[in-house]
Structure 1
Amino acid sequence: MEKIKKTINKAVFKLLHPIAHILLRYEISHSELAEMTRRAYVDVAFKHFSIPNRKQTISRASVITGLSRTEVARLVAINEEQADVMSSTPNRATRVIGGWLSDSDFLDEQSEPKVLPLRGEDISFETLVDRYSGGITARAVLDEMVRTGAVEKLDKDHVKLLHHGFVPHGDDAEKINIFLTHASDLLSTGTHNLTQTDQEPRFQRQVTYVDMPQSVVKEFEELSREMSMELLLKLNKWLSEKDKQNDPESDEPKYRIGLGIYYFKNDNQED
């Protein structure tokens, strides 16, 4: 156990570096991080560390987290108040872009997203939003996509998709939200693979080389971007078709699923 704790301490210290970088950049103090950590400890204790077939208690959560019962009770109340705010919902713009990239009605002969008229009962931005936004108006979605740089209005009646994905430009809050969602998904996969040993492990792979010259770095960055985008577009198209067939009235269990790909480059060649 002591060896495992040392390994965890080293790994968490390394993991906290990019998080600390972001927190310091946006003037979030150590005490605010400590409060978030306490809330996370209590939330996880209640969700994942109760005695089988028994409801978790304040006293038991206090024992396993090391926090006082008064503190646990306070944090439980805060977590319950913010449960609705903290719940993750798909970004509407992301869903619209996904449909634009995968639905044959909105693709040209080269399978590229069409320039769309803003309005119309046939193929238009309005019908795209009606099909994929989940009830949000076309005007609201367009304003958000223009604001974040995802689309360009060619004139007063036509709109063009600029990026094969929702990458907000000039919106730090949305960028942070996307980054932390992706990071949380990756860590959740790792947690599943470490703790759910009686279940099939989730796919988690990485290719890494050190001492690579700058010319190879640039070439690999371009190649990996091209191949990754090709794979993601194929998967998006497949999932989009399955989503169309999805019966919202079905009693079958529902899950949020996906695949994440990221590129990295650094000067640190430690393992």
Structure 2
Amino acid sequence: MARSEAEVRFQAFKGLLRPAIRYFLKTSHPFKDFVDIAKELFVEIAREEISKTSLKINPSRISVMTGLHRKEVKRFSAAGEPVRKQAPHVLVRVLNVWEQDSRFHSKTGRKRALTHEGENSEFKSLVECVSKDVHPGTVLFEMERMGLVRKRSGLVRLIKQYPRFHQDPSKGLDFLKRDIESLFESVEENLFNREEVPNLHIRTEFDNMVKSAVPEIRKWLLEEGAAFHKKARDFLSQSDLDLNPGIQGEGGGRVSVTAMSATYPKK
């Protein structure tokens, strides 16, 4: 007998929790920490959902929605605190503009070195295309720290297109969180609210590979994945109002594309 949609969703939820619980066990976090985080997220996400309506956010509504006692709701959330919309990481947005905006390109269309000193520097203009709430010097320092740029003779040159987060795992884990949320929403829509054109969701897996070939395979996947994302950014940027303010149409649409690979066993 076919399972109900509720049963399918519940089993999927158990599967989604497996990697999170494995991570908790690996990092020696006790069960109580997991419960506290779950309660905090129930309150946080309930507030986000209520904020999408015309209703006022208060502990009573959150309590009814989550099943948590009002005392716990108050413990994990101050009523009336504004809900902040999650935005892409500022470094990624700056890199995208540098890559796509012709104002920061040479005559041959390549990303050019930018002036970075003074109030009228080109790098300051680049950062302000993304946000005027963050100081350009802070962005430049972080990009230097991550090995993305090099300064020489008053100019800053982009030497890597993609941030590497091994020096700051918290930023890498933030990307993981975004990837998981996007993947879940994409698959859920495909299964239960399918559009005429579905979301891309493709998995390729081989389980009897020659182990000595794996390092070369990892390198190939990195190179091909980077090339695909470059092609995707070139295409998507044509419909982005931040990069093309003159195009017609209402803004606010969001598109995310993630590529990843995994190889086993680990060294």
CA 1:128–1:73: 2 relative to 1, 3 Å: closer
Matched residue count? 258
Map residues 21-32 of structure 1 onto 2, 5 A cutoff: 25=27, 29-32=30-33
Q: 1:203 aligns with which of 200, 203, 207?
A: 200
Q: Structure 2 stretches of 5 or more lacking a match?
A: none
Residue in 1 that maps onto 2:16: 12
Tell me which moved more, 201-210 or 184-193.
184-193
Distance 1:56 1:96 in 2: 34
Question: Which amino acid letter does the alignment assign opposite residue 83 of structure 1?
Answer: V
Question: Which amino acid letter does the alignment assign opposite residue 244 of structure 2?
Answer: Q
**C-alpha contact 1:146 1:152 (8 A) present in aligned 2:** yes
By how many angstroms is 1:224 displaced?
A: 1.9
Residue in 2 that maps onto 1:265: 263
By how many angstroms is 1:195 displaced?
A: 3.1
Tell me which moved more, 191-200 or 28-37.
191-200
Question: Which amino acid letter does the alignment assign opposite residue 175 of structure 1?
Answer: G
Distance 1:82 1:47 in 2: 9
By how many angstroms is 1:5 displaced?
A: 7.1
Per the alignment, in what secondary structure is the counterpart of residue 90 of structure 1? coil
**C-alpha contact 1:120 1:127 (8 A) present in aligned 2:** no
Distance 2:60 2:117 in 1: 59
Distance 2:113 2:22 in 1: 39
Residue in 2 that maps onto 1:115: 113
Deviations 1:146-204 (A, max 9, x none): 2333222235x122223212334522222222222222222222232233246643111
- When the two chains are superposed, the root-mean-square deviation of aligned CA atoms in Å is 4.1
Distance 2:57 2:124 in 1: 48
Map residues 85-234 of structure 1 onto 2, 5 A cutoff: 87-108=85-106, 112-119=110-117, 124-134=122-132, 136-155=134-153, 157-197=154-194, 200-234=197-231
By how many angstroms is 1:62 displaced?
A: 5.8
Deviations 1:183-240 (A, max 9, x none): 2222222232233246643111111111111343233222222222112112223333
By how many angstroms is 1:255 displaced?
A: 2.7
**C-alpha contact 1:39 1:79 (8 A) present in aligned 2:** no
Distance 2:118 2:176 in 1: 35
Distance 2:217 2:111 in 1: 26
Task: Using structure 1 for the length normalisation, give the TM-score.
Answer: 0.72
Map residues 228-247 of structure 1 onto 2, 5 A cutoff: 228-241=225-238, 242-243=240-241, 244-246=243-245
Identity of aligned residues (%): 19
Q: Structure 1 stretches of 5 or more lacking a match?
A: none
Task: Using structure 2 for the length normalisation, give the TM-score.
Answer: 0.73
Deviations 1:107-152 (A, max 9, x none): 4577553333324899943333343444534222212222333222
CA 1:92–1:134: 2 relative to 1, 3 Å: farther
Tell me which moved more, 162-171 or 115-124.
115-124
